[in-house]
Structure 1
Amino acid sequence: MIDRLAIVGATGDLTARYLLPGLAALYAAGQLGDDFELVCTDRKDWDTDTYRSWAGAQLDRLGSTWPEHARKQVVSAARFQQCDITDVAAVKALVGGTAPLAVYLALPPAVFAPAVSTLERAVLPSGSRIVLEKPFGEDLDSAVRLNRLLAEVVPEEAVFRVDHFLAMSTVENILGSRLANRVLEVIWNSANIAAVDIVWDERLTLEDRAGYYDGTGALKDMLQNHLLQILCLVAMEPPVSLGERDLRDRKMDMLRSIRPFTDADVAQRSRRARYLAGRIGDRTVPAYVDENGVDPTRRTETFAEIELELDNWRWAGTPFRLRTGKALGRDRMEVAVRFRDVPHMPFGHAGEILPNVLRFGLVPETLSLDLIGNGPQAFSFAPLRLAAQMPPPDLPPYGRLLQEVLTGNAALSIRGDEAEQAWRVVEPVLAAWDEGRVPLEEYPAGSDGPAPRRRPDPD
């Protein structure tokens, strides 16, 4: 286990909201000892005392979800060192010594390439690891170039392209539910499953993130990484084990099976939109283009939806719909597996009976199954929901990710070829949107999103 962690960009939002609390959770669980070193760096002209005061305030701001001793251990372990990540001499001082360390690049994606180039010239100690947040690259070409740069610094097994969705306990429950339960395993195919919806709808608006979001958009921010990763877990073939190679090989097979978009497909199977002014609960929300820092000429989408088809034996004929949106009327974060109707309904009025749906709630963490139960009269039927609240995880997602980084278990990180393949899936959509071949729709904040498309009348 590595006992040195360097956070580059240690005064940013990612560190404040996720990395410091993740470390506090590890201390609370007894996963880190007194010899753990936390080197925090940024371009700000701070010293260690200033940083410790700031870090303590960030942990206090987020509430007391961990013991006081864990908070104190994080603060006392932190050592601040001013550093420009593009300055080779400064980076050499940062990584000095022969002991391996994990370098967490808590930076905007556009800075990854110059940061990795500097790490190469500074020469990391043998056994070191590099951690990068999503999105990995800005398109396929940049992802390929970044992979080549990383390969010159550390071996592939030492690169952690982290996606915190993979560390969510409910997402992992998808694997347990479908692979460890025979009642589900035998019906987990297109013969029984009509469609799968992977949804991340949220009431949150831009929340002062225009500097990042307005140059990224919903498709790159959520679909290309988070939701495609969930799709992998839902649809991949059973791995031999949950070890790093077996799990990631099966995920890669699943991504390669996605049918490439044609020009006609993009128009029919993708949607984009952005929110107008409206109300969400008791809040009045301005239109996206009026949010602070937004450039309206970029035509950035806040809602994105794509429908994917898989060309393999298990899933031929089952559509997978991935959807995300901001400023919607309700939070809906779930995987909804819709089963086909029974072949024959002997009770009549079959059209009134809703389909069976298995729902994996991502936030909050729930598992439910929609069935048909008895109604109040003889041979009458009513919807019945069986629901369970998932037990709380031992560690929050970022605590789990940091644990995997420090112990060297890369099973929950994204392999280089996997990151590139995910870009190949969405690039035709991005190109069509850039060229205006798919209209940018609009929806009022607080609504359910853009109006449903009218299906063509049957012949």
Structure 2
Amino acid sequence: MIDRLVVFGATGDLTARYLLPALAALQEAGHLGDGFQLTGASREDWSSAQFREWMAAQLDRHGGTYPAGAREAVVDGARYVRADVTSSADIAAAVAGDGPVAVYLALPPALFPRAVTALHEAGLPKGSRVVLEKPFGEDLASARELNGLLADLVPEQAVFRVDHFLAMTTVQNVLGSRLANRVLEPIWNSTHIAEVEITWDETLALEGRAGYYDHVGALKDMIQNHLLQLLCLVAMEPPITLGERDLRDRKVDVLRSVRLLTEYDVVHRTRRARYLAGRIGDRDIPAYVDEEGVSSERRTETFAEVELELDSWRWAGTTFRLRSGKALNEDRKEVAVRFRAVPHLPFGPGGEALPNVLRFQLEPEGLSLDLTGIGSQAHELTPLSLTAGMEPPDLPAYGRLLLDVLQGDPALSIRGDEAEEAWRVLEPVLDAWQKDLVPLEEYPAGSDGPPPPSPYEDGLQRREDLLHEPAAPPDDV
């Protein structure tokens, strides 16, 4: 187990909100030995004492549920190095020490190529590991380039492209429910399942993240970055083991089976929108284009929806809908598995049987099953719902990921070919949206998103017109 962690970008929001509480959780659980050392590296001209003071304040704010002793142990063992992540000399000073080191790049993704190049120039001790937050690259070409840079630095087994969604208890329970219950696995296919909807809707608006979000948007930030991972866990074939090779092989199989969308498909099976001014609870929300730091010229979407199909024996005929939006009227974060209706009802006109829906609630964590039963009168059907709570996890999601990094278990990280396949799936959408083949709709903040499209509305007709318009001639013709 590695006992040295160097975090570049150590004074940022990711470190404050997630990494420091995760380290406190690991300390409390006894996973960090007495010799563990945390080094923070960033551009601020701080001393180690100033960094520790900042750490203590952030742990009080974001990790106050952990015992004071655990928090103090994390703070007391930390040191700080002022560093430019593009400078090989600065990086060499930050990682200096005995034995292998885990290097965590808590940085904007645009800095990854230069940081990895500087790491290569500085050199890392044998056995070191590199951790990168997603999104991994900005498109397929940049993901391939970054993979090449990492391959020159450390072996693939030492690269951790982390996604905290994969360490969430409910996400892990998707696998548990499927693979450990005889009643589910035989019907986990297109014969019985009509649709899988993977949703991450938030009441949160931009919340000061324009510097990152306005360059990314909902499609890259959530669907490419996280929701495709959930698709893989729902749709993968049962692996032989949950070891890193078996699990990640099956996830890549899912992405390879996704039918690529044509321009016609993108027009009819994807949507994008951004929020207007509105009200959410007691908050007045400005229009997205009026948020500080937003450029209206980028036409960044705050809502994205994509329908995909898988060309596989198990899933031919099932629709997978991935959706995410900001500034909506409620938080809805779930995987909803919608089963097909029964072929015949012998109950007469006494009611309608709604399709069964198995829901994995992601935040807050929970599990529910929508069924149909008999009501108070004979032959009268009524909806039923079974719900189950989740035991609180031993570690928060980031705690689980950091422990995997320190112990060298990459099963829950993203393999290089998987990162590329995820971009391959969504490149047709990115290309068509860049051409404005899909209109950028609008919805009021505090609503449930853009209204459902109708084939008779002008918006869809405009989509058809855009799709069939001839390309504009070059300027020099």
Q: TM-score, normalised by structure 2?
A: 0.95
Question: What SS class does the counterpart of residue 183 from structure 2 fall into?
Answer: helix
Residue in 1 aligned with 2:403?
A: 403
Cα pair 2:4 2:38 within 8 Å, conserved: yes
- Say if 2:20 is the partner of 1:20: yes
Residue in 2 aligned with 1:223?
A: 223
What amino acid is aligned across from residue 308 of structure 1 in structure 2?
L
Residue in 1 aligned with 2:203?
A: 203
Distance in structure 1 (CA, Å) of the matches to 2:39 and 2:451: 50
Cα pair 2:255 2:421 within 8 Å, conserved: yes
Once the two structures are TM-superposed, the CA of residue 96 in structure 1 deviates from its matched residue by: 1.6
What amino acid is aligned across from residue 77 of structure 1 in structure 2?
G
**1:324-363 to 2 correspondence within 5 Å?**
324-349=324-349, 352-363=352-363
Once the two structures are TM-superposed, the CA of residue 454 in structure 1 deviates from its matched residue by: 2.1
**1:351-390 to 2 correspondence within 5 Å?**
352-390=352-390
Question: What SS class does the counterpart of residue 254 from structure 1 fall into?
Answer: helix
Once the two structures are TM-superposed, the CA of residue 374 in structure 1 deviates from its matched residue by: 1.9
**1:290-301 to 2 correspondence within 5 Å?**
290-301=290-301
What amino acid is aligned across from residue 447 of structure 1 in structure 2?
S
Residue in 2 aligned with 1:78?
A: 78
Deviations 1:221-258 (A, max 9, x none): 00002000000000000000000000000000000000
- Say if 2:107 is the partner of 1:110: no
Once the two structures are TM-superposed, the CA of residue 319 in structure 1 deviates from its matched residue by: 0.3
Distance in structure 2 (CA, Å) of the matches to 1:199 and 1:166: 15
Residue in 1 aligned with 2:471?
A: none
Matched residues, number: 457
Once the two structures are TM-superposed, the CA of residue 352 in structure 1 deviates from its matched residue by: 2.8
Residue in 2 aligned with 1:95?
A: 95
Once the two structures are TM-superposed, the CA of residue 77 in structure 1 deviates from its matched residue by: 1.4
Cα pair 2:38 2:79 within 8 Å, conserved: yes
Residue in 2 aligned with 1:241?
A: 241
Once the two structures are TM-superposed, the CA of residue 349 in structure 1 deviates from its matched residue by: 3.7
What amino acid is aligned across from residue 111 of structure 1 in structure 2?
L
- Say if 2:448 is the partner of 1:448: yes
Question: What SS class does the counterpart of residue 437 from structure 1 fall into?
Answer: coil
RMSD (Å), alpha carbons: 1.1
Distance in structure 1 (CA, Å) of the matches to 2:214 and 2:351: 44
Instruction: Name the CA shift for 1:428/1:343 in 2 (closer, same or farther; >3 Å).
Output: same
What amino acid is aligned across from residue 429 of structure 1 in structure 2?
V
Cα pair 1:98 1:126 within 8 Å, conserved: no
Residue in 1 aligned with 2:121?
A: 121
Cα pair 2:24 2:63 within 8 Å, conserved: no
- Which deviates further from its counterpart, 261-270 or 350-359? 350-359
What amino acid is aligned across from residue 161 of structure 1 in structure 2?
R
Question: What SS class does the counterpart of residue 91 from structure 1 fall into?
Answer: helix
Instruction: Name the CA shift for 1:248/1:350 in 2 (closer, same or farther; >3 Å).
Output: farther
Deviations 1:323-370 (A, max 9, x none): 000000000000000000111111134873211100000001100000
Question: What SS class does the counterpart of residue 355 from structure 1 fall into?
Answer: coil
Identity %: 69
Distance in structure 2 (CA, Å) of the matches to 1:86 and 1:230: 34
Once the two structures are TM-superposed, the CA of residue 189 in structure 1 deviates from its matched residue by: 0.3
What amino acid is aligned across from residue 197 of structure 2 in structure 1?
D
Deviations 1:85-141 (A, max 9, x none): 111112111122341000000000000000000000111000000000000001111
Residue in 2 aligned with 1:46?
A: 46
Residue in 1 aligned with 2:422?
A: 422
Once the two structures are TM-superposed, the CA of residue 456 in structure 1 deviates from its matched residue by: 7.3
What amino acid is aligned across from residue 323 of structure 2 in structure 1?
R
- Say if 2:157 is the partner of 1:134: no
> Deviation above 6 Å: which 4+ runs of structure 1?
none
Q: TM-score, normalised by structure 1?
A: 0.98
Distance in structure 1 (CA, Å) of the matches to 2:288 and 2:418: 32
Distance in structure 1 (CA, Å) of the matches to 2:413 and 2:351: 44
Note the residue ranges of structure 2 that are not aligned, 5 or more in a row. Answer: 458-477
Deviations 1:133-183 (A, max 9, x none): 000001111000000000000000000000000000100000000111000
